[in-house]
Amino acid sequence: MAGIPFDQLEGSIWLDGKIIPWSEAQVHVLTHGLHYGSSVFEGQRAYGGEIFKLEEHTKRLHASAEVLGFTIPWTEEQINDACKQMLAQNNLTDAYLRPVAWRGSEMMGISAQANTIHLAIAAWEWPSYFSPEERLKGIRLDMAEYRRPDPKTAPFKSKAAGLYMICTISKHAAEAKGYSDALMLDWQGRVAEATGANVFFIKDGAIHTPIADCFLDGITRRTVIDLARARGIEVTERRIMPEEMEGFEQCFLTGSAAEVTPVSEIGPYSFVPGDISKLMIEDYMAAVQPAKEELLVAS
């Protein structure tokens, strides 16, 4: 897939209730979602033919749209079925899925009350967000120029396309300097998240992670917190100041795309991937695998 533009991939896409050839999934240039960011999406992975936490992702998609003031005209059950259909239609077992909903083109302006709400679902093969080599040694993060906005100024509980503009800017700037990603502070200068993943730190056998009160409380984030606590590892959600990073021993990112990825460097701060980071990788990868049905053998 490397080097092939996404609009030229082969396969099928679910668009507004119909399965169409990949190349025919088009929208008009005057689509409101393109001009004004009235779009929400999900990113989810399938392992062994099953989509991990599909129901939670679809529920969040609906909730994201409601925060932006529109209703997706397909039920959660219909969307779940369509996602599964896309896996089967494209002969995929390990894949990435992207449901996306947006306001159409009936009205062009800030107000778009009469615009049709569209929904598309695509699925494709996509390996780990970071290479295996990067994950094992830990990726390097720069410090982002932009911050996550004050929750009174942005709908942070929505996985809204517009909120990712500063993430793209920050990630591009980091990559231009040789980093894999960037760490963003929140509006008050506290540690928030990476550009598309939540962040965790480890010190003295305990895990610390920022409170998700101005950025998305990721589904993978919640999964890893539950996995750690099930192991008896203490997890504290709290305010973390940038200078505290000097005292942390390990760091890792979480997200549907990033999965669990250790970090070796954030700006001037260094970390060494250790046992807890590796354990979280192993536990998460075990959790995402489909449950194997036990075969009953008659005696």
Residues with catalytic function? 159
Residue 141 CA to residue 175 CA, distance in Å, equals: 9
Length of the chain: 299
Indicate the pairing of strand 206-210 with strand 259-266: unpaired
